[in-house]
Amino acid sequence: MLMPDNHNNLETGAVMELVQYTDIDELSGRMEAERRAKDTVRPFIPKAVAASSAMANNGAPPGAAEDRALQVGSTLYLNYFGLREHPFALTPDTSYYFDYFNYREALSVLLVALRSGEGFIKLTGEVGMGKTLLCRRLMELLGDGFVTAYVPSPLLSGHGMLRAVAEELRVNVFDHMDGYEIIKSITHRLAQHHAEGKSVVLLIDEAQVMSRGALEAVRLLSNIETEKSKLLQVVLFAQPELDQRLQTEALRQFQQRIIFSHVLQPLDKTGLTGYINHRIMLAGYNGKPPFSAAALNEIFRATRGVPRLINIVSHKSLMLAFGSGLRQVTRKMVREAVGETEGVIKTQTHKPRRWLVMTLAAMLTFAMGWYGAGMLH
C-alpha cells in the first residue's frame, strides 16, 4: 500500500498508480471516489486520533505505523456510522444471536430432545448458516441442570476423541492410559454427575470431519447408561456431508443411534432484513436504516439468506458507503461488494468497477498520510 510522507501526496500517488488504466471513465471515477474518500475521512480524524492516543496512554504496546493507521481507519468507519463495534464480524458472538423462527425452531428441537433424555441428536446446515453460534447459544440456555463438554475441532483419532471428552469433563488422563482406561474414568465421572442430578451433554461442532475412529469412540461413550437413562447425550453440529457419510454401510449402526435430527434453514427475505437491522442496532447504530430496500433485495438475491455471506456483503457495502461519503447503502454498492466476494450469486451483467473498491484503499491511505505527517502522535 502507498505510504505518503503527508496527506497531500495522496493525489500524486494515485495518479502514478492509475497510469495503467486505459478506461477514461474508470480513471475519472476512481479519482472522484478518492476525492469523496478524503472528504469523508477528514471530519473524523480528530476522534480517531483521540482513540489512538488513548490506547497508547493506557499502556497498550506501541505498534508499527501501519497498525496504528489501521486502528485509525477502523475508528473512522465506526465513528462515521455511530457504531461502538463492527456489526458484521464473523466471530460467533451469542450477544448478536437473532431469535428468528428458523433458529428458534432449531433450538426448540434441541432443548426438547435434551430435556427428554434422548441419546443422539443431529443438527445439519450448509456452510455459514450459524451452527457454531447456535451451539454456543444452546450451552447458554441449558442451565445448571446440565454439564456440557464442547469439542470444536473433532478431526481426531478415536483415542484423541476420548482424551478430548475426558479433558472437557475434567477427568485426569495420563499418557500411559489406553482407550479402555479412559472410558472407565469417564464413566466414573458421568456417574458422579448423575448422582448429583445433572445431565451431561457432549456437543461436537464440525462433526462432518470426524474420523471413523472418532465416531466409534463417541458411539461407545453413548453406551454408558443406567437401567433407566443415558449418562451421556450427544449433539452433533455438522454440514450435510455428515448425512452422506452416515448412509454408508460402515456407519449404519451409528446412524441408527440418532433419535432427533433437524436441518437449519437459511433466512428468508423478512428474516434477512430483521437480521441486518438487529446487528447494526446492537452495534450502536441509531438513525435511519442504512440499507435501502433495493440494497436489501440485492443482498438477499446474492447471499440466498446465508448469515455468513450476509455479514461479508453487508460489511463491504457499508465500507463502500463510508468511502463514498454516503449514509445509505445503494443497490449499486451491494453489487460492487458482491463482485468482490466468493460464494455469492453474481449477476451476469455485473462488471466490477475497481475504482469503487479502491475507495477503501484511498480512505486508509489518507489516514496513514496523517500518521506519516506526525498528526497521530
Q: Residue 63: what pLDDT? A: 46
Question: From CA 123, how far away is CA 128, in angstroms rounded?
Answer: 14
Q: Are residues 194 and 109 part of one domain?
A: yes
377 in a structural domain: no
Q: Are residues 237 and 112 part of one domain?
A: yes
- Give tens-digit pLDDT for 127-165: 999 999 999 999 999 988 999 999 998 899 999 999 999
Q: Residue 62: what pLDDT? A: 45
Q: Residue 226: what pLDDT? A: 84
> What is the residue whose three cell numbers read 465513528?
79
Q: Are residues 367 and 274 part of one domain?
A: yes
Q: Are residues 18 and 64 part of one domain?
A: yes
Q: Are residues 146 and 286 part of one domain?
A: no
> What does pTM read for this prediction?
0.78
Q: Are residues 78 and 166 part of one domain?
A: no
Q: Are residues 117 and 74 part of one domain?
A: no
Weakest mean pLDDT among 13-27, 310-324, 352-366: 13-27
Stronger pLDDT, 220 or 377, i.e. the higher one: 220
Given pLDDT bands bounded at 50, 70 and 90, which one contains residue 66?
Answer: very low
- Give tens-digit pLDDT for 252-305: 888 888 989 999 999 999 999 999 999 999 999 998 999 999 999 999 999 999
Question: From CA 125, how far away is CA 131, in angstroms rounded?
Answer: 7
Q: Are residues 206 and 254 part of one domain?
A: yes
DSSP, residue by residue, 286-328: -SS-SB-HHHHHHHHHHHTT-HHHHHHHHHHHHHHHHHTT-SS
Question: From CA 235, how far away is CA 231, in angstroms rounded?
Answer: 14
Using alpha carbons, list the distances in angstroms from residue 337 to 58, 174, 355.
Answer: 36, 51, 12
209 in a structural domain: yes
The total of structural domains in the chain comes to 2
- Give tens-digit pLDDT for 189-211: 999 999 999 999 999 999 999 99
190 in a structural domain: yes
Find the domain containing 154 and state its range: 101-263
Helix (H, G, I), strand (E, B) or coil at 171: coil
